[in-house]
Amino acid sequence: MMEKEEAKRHGRRLVLVVYPSQGHINPMLQLATILYSKGFSIIILHPEFNSPNHSNHPDFSFVSIPGGLSNVSASPGDIVATISAINRSCEAPFQRYLEQILEVEDPHDRVAGVIYDGFMHFAQRVANHLKLPGISMCTTAAASLLAFAVSRHPDGHGYIPYQDSLSQLDQEPELEALKLEDIIKSAAGNPTSLEQRAIIKESTKNASAIIVNTIHFLEQKKLTKVQEYFGNPIFPIGPFHKLAPSSSSSLLEEDTNCISWLDKQALESVIYVSFGSMTSMDENELLEIASGLASSELPFLWVVRPGLVTGSEWVEELLPESFWKRVEAEGRGCIVKWAPQKEVLAHGAVGGFWSHCGWNSILESVCEGVPMLCRPIFGDQPLNVRYVCDVWKIGLEIEGVLERGKIEKGIRRLMIDSEGLEIRQRAKGLKEKANFCLSEDGSSYNALNELVQHILSS
């Protein structure tokens, strides 16, 4: 039986290269599950640190790339350096690994391609060298890819090096709501990151295709622009997590007690608060959030990751006793180190999501029809928030200095006020549209079948 199953996958071997942070591991393992369900066999390559838990995914083969990197910081400030270090250290071992498997390759069981996270651009160079098709996988909005076309010059004057693309984009009326300026802002301009972006742009242009974790109707015109700019086929097959639900790939242990706590709360009454896997804040901001949540008088589920406040492992000692007493007495709050987020957002008690606007979090919220309170912090988040608040109009932004009164007001506007009710209705409408795209003949369903054909014919 097993042999028959494996025989079916002959000639359909795919090598997937993961970037080792939570917001990248999740979509890559989800994509692996999708492609496995389409009859491919899957080899996952990943750096040694932040290794996904192999035993959660028994259908895949895992290969750890020894890179000599340990304790690589994933903090926002270090991202550029981390991406460079990983690309430098992984390229040679990855090439050796592929050469080895190609050397003993059964001609009927060829490697059909290498699919890599856009940050792991070394994989495209290796694929070119070994004459294998490389496919770039984008874990952000398609619009973020446009940031590669419109980087601002480091001295603040003009843009490099894509003036033509810039003026074309500027005249695009559909970009009005999602302004060019937002796209530029998302490409935080320091010289090293400009260099990184130029490399990523080149590898993406060299890829045989781009897979994006997005839905066609969410970004229709941006997808066309991306295709025009990069010149290769683009497959918007998202949201991955709905297309083929996969086992958890959380690096931290998920605290499922919060689900039993949610079970006791009223319908759509809870604000879920999480700032993803990488953002950090100072102690004062944490205290303001705690105060704002307490005085909103609404139930809340709050993820306070170890390290969210720099230098602190857990919040017990950071939050004042009066906060704990009030929240415990009212039974109104639940604080966890890491939540099963997709399950939380799908829970009927959750009525709003206060988020840093990471792209995975946004897609997960959209798919459950949960309106958002937005607090973007870095990277693509300032761009994503424009989609949520200005284009789809399913959220509100908390801007400026974090302060308890502003937080309380923001939460109540979203959860209770009539303005919030309209936003909730729109979020529910978007959920229905997203579900439709996943069904037979929906855009994601069709794009996936086209992707499979593309891989098999490359």
List of residues contacting ligand UDP (CB under 6 A): 22-23, 26, 250, 274, 276-278, 303, 338-339, 341-342, 358-361, 364
Q: What is the 3-state secondary structure (H, E, C) of 381-433?
A: HHHHHHHHHHHCCCEEECCCCCCHHHHHHHHHHHHCCHHHHHHHHHHHHHHHH
| 91 vs 364, beta carbon nearer ligand UDP | 364
For residue 166, the minimal CB distance to ligand UDP (Å) is 27
Q: Which is nearer to ligand UDP, 41 or 277 (CB)?
A: 277
**Cis-peptide, bond into residue 340, ω within 30° of zero:** no
| Shortest distance, position 412 Cβ to ligand UDP, whole Å | 24
CB of 250 to ligand UDP, least distance (A): 5
Nearer to ligand UDP, 73 or 425 (CB): 73
Cα torsion through 194, 195, 196, 200, rounded to 10: 100
- Kindly state the tokens that stand for 449: 């079948």
**Structure tokens given for 58:** 């028994």
User: Closest CB to ligand UDP among 17 and 367?
Assistant: 367
Which residue is nearest to ligand UDP, using beta carbons? 23
Residue 291 or 361: which CB sits closer to ligand UDP? 361
Residue 242 CB, nearest distance to ligand UDP (Å)? Answer: 12
Neighbours of 432 (CB within 10 A): 9
Contacts of 366 (CB under 8 A, 6+ apart): 218, 239, 392, 394, 427, 430, 431, 434
Give the Å distances, CA to CA, from 91 to 85, 101, 290, 458. Answer: 10, 16, 45, 23
Closest CA relative to residue 131, chosen from 110, 106, 117, 116: 110
CB environment 293-321: b (16+ within 10 A), e (fewer): bbbbebbbbbbbbebbbeebeebeeebee
Beta carbon of residue 192, minimum distance to ligand UDP (angstroms, whole number): 20
CB of 208 or CB of 250, closer to ligand UDP: 250
Least separation in angstroms between CB 276 and ligand UDP:
3
- Least distance from C-beta 423 to ligand UDP, angstroms? 20
Q: Smaller CB distance to ligand UDP: residue 44 or 166? A: 44
